[in-house]
Amino acid sequence: HLTSKSDVYSFGVVLLEMLTGRRSMDKNRPNGEHNLVEWARPHLGERRCFYRLIDPRLEGHFSIKGAQKAAQLAARCLSRDPKVRPLMSEVVEALKPLINLKDMACSSYNFQAFQAERRSASFSARSSRASQPQGLRNRPARTLSHGAHDSPYMLSPKPNSKQ
């Protein structure tokens, strides 16, 4: 049964995809991360876990307050109780001021500390990179800003595709 509240939920999923750079369903992710909403829901309200949600390909080029407010809005849109979800007009009003925020994460001490932690955690994963298919190893780094129409999904592996 589709309603305006189910549309708001769907928008919350899209907003979460934008924040995380992940697909809503991805069977290539580890167990517990296949469903984006279920994986992200516990982190949406936690300020300590906030940076874990953000697409690492953004490399700090985002407003911390804007991303936090977008994550809070996504949490409201994704509420299990449709009555608690905002109206779409409220979603639009909540998003309008976010475009003007200038507090870039790359200049934040907390973000830099998180990035250092992420790098040290991924250091051990680099050795397993040698087992990646040759085509993936030689691709350029993914960014969300290198072209006006580039999508973070363009370079993502397609499910069940042979590369």
Please choose, from the candidates 97, 40, 41, the residue with its C-alpha nearest in 3D space to the C-alpha of residue 65.
97
Q: Is residue 161 part of a domain?
A: no
Q: Is the pTM of this model over 0.95?
A: no
Confirm whether 163 is domain-assigned. Answer: no
Query: Does a structural domain hold residue 143?
Result: no
Residue 142, in any domain of the structure: no
Through-space distance between the first and last CA atoms of the chain, rounded to whole angstroms:
39
- Domain residue limits at 97: 4-137
Residue 145 belongs to a domain: no
Q: Is residue 120 domain-resident?
A: yes
CATH number for the domain harbouring residue 43: 1.10.510.10
Assess if residue 82 is contained within a domain. Answer: yes
Residue 122 covered by a domain: yes
Model confidence at 14: pLDDT above 50: yes
Does 90 have pLDDT greater than 90? yes
> Domains in the chain: how many in total?
1
DSSP-derived secondary structure letter, 153: T
Say yes or no to pLDDT of 141 above 90.
no
String of b and e for 21-54 (b: at least 16 CB within 10 Å)?
A: bbbeebeeeeeeeeebbebbbebbeeeeebbebb
Report the alpha-carbon distance of residue 72 to residue 79 in Å, rounded.
Answer: 11
Question: When comparing pLDDT for 163 and 59, which is higher?
Answer: 59
Q: Say how many residues make up the chain.
A: 163
